[in-house]
Amino acid sequence: MTVKRKLIAGNWKMNASFSSNEALVKALVTGLDALKAQVGQPSLPDVLVCPPAPYWAQVSALLEGSSIAQGAQDVSEHDKGAYTGELSLSMLKEFKVDHVILGHSERRRYQFQNDSLICHKVFQAMNAGLTPIVCVGETQDEREQGQTWAVIKRQVMSALSMLPVDFDRVVVAYEPVWAIGTGLTATPVMAQEVHAYIRSLLEPRTTHAKALRILYGGSMNAANAQALLAQPDVDGGLIGSAALSSSDFLSIISSAVARNP
CB 242 within 8 A of CB 24: no
Helices (H), 135-219: 140-144, 148-159, 188-202
CB 138 within 8 A of CB 151: yes
Stretch that binds ligand PEP, among 58-66, 142-150, 174-182, 205-213 (CB under 6 A): 174-182
- Shortest distance, position 184 Cβ to ligand PEP, whole Å: 9
CB 134 within 8 A of CB 174: no
Stretch that binds ligand PEP, among 37-45, 158-166, 225-233, 240-248 (CB under 6 A): 240-248
Q: Which of 44, 119, 180, 198 binds ligand PEP (CB under 6 A)?
A: 180
How would you classify the pairing of strands 99-102 and 131-136? parallel
Known catalytic membership, residue 208: no
Query: Does 240 participate in binding ligand PEP (rule CB under 6 A)?
Result: yes
Query: Annotated catalytic residue: which of 104, 106, 142, 195?
Result: 104
As a dihedral over the C-alpha atoms of residue 89, residue 109, residue 216, residue 69, rounded to 10 degrees, the angle is 30
Which backbone phi and psi does 9 adopt, to 5 degrees?
-120, 135
Query: Does 209 participate in binding ligand PEP (rule CB under 6 A)?
Result: no
- 132: which strand partners? 100
Q: Which of 40, 129, 181, 232 binds ligand PEP (CB under 6 A)?
A: 181
- Shortest distance, position 141 Cβ to ligand PEP, whole Å: 18
Known catalytic membership, residue 104: yes
Query: Annotated catalytic residue: which of 77, 106, 142, 175?
Result: 175
Query: Does 255 participate in binding ligand PEP (rule CB under 6 A)?
Result: no
Nearest residue to 238 via CA among 246, 230, 249 = 249
Stretch that binds ligand PEP, among 69-77, 112-120, 157-165, 218-226 (CB under 6 A): 218-226
C-alpha pair distances (Å), 145 with each of 115, 140, 148: 21, 9, 8
Query: Does 176 participate in binding ligand PEP (rule CB under 6 A)?
Result: no
H/E element, 254: helix 246-257
Query: Does 218 participate in binding ligand PEP (rule CB under 6 A)?
Result: yes
Which backbone phi and psi does 103 adopt, to 5 degrees?
75, 20
Q: Which of 6, 7, 10, 11 binds ligand PEP (CB under 6 A)?
A: 11
- 10: which strand partners? 49, 239
Query: Does 229 participate in binding ligand PEP (rule CB under 6 A)?
Result: no
Query: Does 62 participate in binding ligand PEP (rule CB under 6 A)?
Result: no
Query: Does 73 participate in binding ligand PEP (rule CB under 6 A)?
Result: no
C-alpha pair distances (Å), 66 with each of 36, 125, 190, 200: 11, 24, 35, 35
Query: Does 238 participate in binding ligand PEP (rule CB under 6 A)?
Result: yes
Residues engaged in binding ligand PEP (CB under 6 A): 11, 175, 180-181, 217-220, 238-242
